[in-house]
Structure 1
Amino acid sequence: MSSGYGGRRLRVAVVGTGMIAGVHARAARAAGAEVTGVLGRTPSRSERVAAQLDVPRGYASLDEVLADAPDVVHVCTPNDQHHPQALAVVRAGVHVVCEKPLAIDAAQASELVEAARAAGVVATVPFVYRYHPVVREIRARIAAGELGRLLAVHGHYLQDWMLDEDASSWRVDAGAGGLSRAFADIGSHWCDLVEFVTGEPFAAVSAATDVVHRTRPAASGPSFSGSPDADPLADATRRAEVTTEDTAVATFRTDAGRIGNVVVSQVSAGRKNRLWFEVDGTLGSAAFDQEQPESAWFGTERGAQIVVRDPSQGFPDQRRLAVVPAGHPQGYLDAFAAFVADTYAAVRGEAPEGLPTFADGARAARVIDAVVASAVDGTWRTIG
């Protein structure tokens, strides 16, 4: 452990009070941290959610958060708040975890990367699907050459929470969420995961997007169930024009010239969180389904097999993250807790394998910007 912390628990504050803030707070506790309090839009909301999450304090402002001298601040607010809040935390010399997208455009994201570097703080982004053990198994097998040379990659990320034309949330508003909704929210996860697994970055993209409901309720509603203190349900009688996409299709070329493709949708009935990808190589293929995270599919010309997570089998990085015996399912919350634990290990001076940092968040912002630009004019766009 690095000097300055010794063996004590890290002190952590959470900025935000929605569903994902509760996930961060639980993951922080699972990783052994002390959650000192939460900050909401108003002092009364802060106090209410602090009581619901059983944390000691509801903060009145970000200044009050920083004055409490936390070791790490988790930023879990709407997208347009990520840049100013994370920048304030970093400039105060405090380590930070910031939700994705890191910022509403690539320029802001790059500023955060440079600010974190200059401040010498750990700054991470929860691309937590990297932390499913079998994802690490696929990655290790690709790195070891077991799939051969990459030929193609394809997949989708499908949800249905925006299927109803009366569904809404702050994410619909481009002012709060940014110019992209579906792709920025979930397509960014798919791209990060595939680039992480294959080790081959996307170099260019051709994309198309669609808005399937031209108006939605103007009032903000909860994004998902499970929020500690959900916003009021949207009022369907007050409607606003929708400019952010419900669906997107993106075709990529990698640095090596290979093709990748993803379909992203938040209006696919019955699909709750179906992140799926397949990597095809000259010697074999591999596929992963986030809704079935305990196993991976591997195929060759001779047939196929299902490989189940097992801490006694496979590559070391898979075994490191497989924290319970085979047959005892691990899932999303375990992946999130593993990401937070790795972040805290980095705060203590370690160098965990595969930790997603602000640099990865800025990379995702550049991909999102290229997708948005391509969808506007129909041209191939280089990803910077």
Structure 2
Amino acid sequence: MTTDVTDTGVGMIRSGFLGGGFMAQVHSRAARAAGAAMAAVASSSPQRAERAAQQLGIGRAVGSVEELLAGDSDIVHICTPNATHASLALQVIAAGKHVICEKPLATTLVDARALADAAAERGVVAAVPFVYRYHPMVREARARIAAGEIGSLLTVDCGYLQDWMLLPTDDDWRATSASGGPSRAFADIGSHLCDLLEFVTGDRIVRLTARTRRVFDERGGHPVANEDAVAILVELASGAIGTLLISQMAAGRKNALTLELHGADASIRFDQERPEELWVGGREENRHLFRDPSTAHEGVARFSRVPVGHAQGYQDAFNGFVADAYAAVAGEQPDGLPTFADGVRAAQLTEAVLLAAREERWIDVGALDT
């Protein structure tokens, strides 16, 4: 069982941060909740680093990546634009420091694999925040499926819908610059959906076909470089088939990540906008299960971070992820910690989706390993 203790045997974990935007806020809150010392932050300029240090309560601002890596940080959180992840993570690993890198781990499968290999060779903890794994009811769904409670998996009906890019005036660096990479909707949120599907079911997507859509060719006067929405048909290793819909232009949907799994005996559904519950469906009755450590499957209770009746949400899930990453630094082996291997898997699926859409055919995902 992991805890929020960050003593590695040589003192408290010291956390460094690259980037000072929204995700750095989330990462730094989680690091603080885990009891880490907030060592240093570097950003795109010394001025932004100073501002981030003040806003995030981080000990000191440094003027460059090199200066941060020369310091005493034990682990570095990379919270910078997508296209910078691979080069920065490689520098962190080369410096012998543990690393938590925002997803996508890299914008190409080749780079993602190189990072995973480098981390393994150097022997550092290398994690990617697929944090929806850390909702207690996600773990409950996973435990119930592993126990055979829904029977053999038949079909899946999944989605991840947002509306923050609904209007032509909605602009973001992810859409209109090389910093975002070749995929936006899938790499940004579809990767979370696929990770959750495979993690909860213990099954893998082996074949897929996809269609992508770019609704506006320009946003804010800049050409759009990637997709707004993706529809995917999947076949899993078990033979189960299903649909995945990913969109950043679904009016009214703020963060609707849904996972509905249909088994031979029962169905189960998780909705990230209602994270405290699971829907369980059967021929004779439907019911809702609510988070309760006293009735949870073995191993699930540790993910409940507040008492029953006090809602847990996204930041709690993120806090659980960072606590597990820090526990791994201390020598533990937390169940379900998403690592660079999972980041490679996301990159593999991203390339498969883009290839399927471009060539309008089914793709054997495993063939991308060759």
Same fold (TM > 0.5): yes
Q: Which residues of structure 1 form unaligned runs of 5+? A: 218-238
Alignment root-mean-square deviation, CA? 1.5
What is the CA-CA distance between 1:163 and the residue it aligns to? 0.7
Aligned to 2:254: 272
* Per-residue Cα deviation, 1:46-78 (whole angstroms, up to 9, x for no partner): 001111112121111111111112110000100
1:243 aligned to which of 203, 207, 225 = 225
1:116 aligned to which of 109, 115, 119 = 119
Distance 2:285 2:120 in 1: 48
> Is 2:214 aligned against 1:211?
yes
Question: Structure 1: which 4+ aligned runs deviate by more than 2 Å?
Answer: none
> Is 2:336 aligned against 1:354?
yes
Alignment of 1:187-202 (within 5 A): 187-202=190-205
Distance 1:307 1:7 in 2: 43
Identity of aligned residues (%): 50
2:128·2:340 contact (CA, 8 Å) conserved in 1? yes
SS in structure 1 of the partner of residue 72 of structure 2: coil
Aligned to 1:19: 22
Distance 1:257 1:373 in 2: 22
Distance 1:378 1:243 in 2: 19
What is the CA-CA distance between 1:173 and the residue it aligns to? 3.1
Aligned to 1:227: none
Q: Which residues of structure 2 form unaligned runs of 5+? A: none
What is the CA-CA distance between 1:316 and the residue it aligns to? 2.2
Distance 1:255 1:374 in 2: 18
- Which residue identity is paired with 2:294? S
1:311·1:324 contact (CA, 8 Å) conserved in 2? no
> Is 2:106 aligned against 1:103?
yes
Aligned to 2:145: 142
> Is 2:349 aligned against 1:367?
yes
* Per-residue Cα deviation, 1:260-280 (whole angstroms, up to 9, x for no partner): 211101011111101001011
Alignment of 1:282-361 (within 5 A): 282-361=264-343
1:311·1:323 contact (CA, 8 Å) conserved in 2? no
What is the CA-CA distance between 1:326 and the residue it aligns to? 1.1
- Which residue identity is paired with 1:215? E
Aligned to 1:36: 39
Distance 2:79 2:243 in 1: 29
- Which residue identity is paired with 1:115? A
Aligned to 1:381: 363
Distance 2:314 2:71 in 1: 31
Distance 1:185 1:174 in 2: 15
TM-score, normalising length: structure 1: 0.92
SS in structure 2 of the partner of residue 317 of structure 1: coil
1:277·1:288 contact (CA, 8 Å) conserved in 2? yes
What is the CA-CA distance between 1:91 and the residue it aligns to? 1.1
1:174·1:244 contact (CA, 8 Å) conserved in 2? no
2:269·2:280 contact (CA, 8 Å) conserved in 1? yes
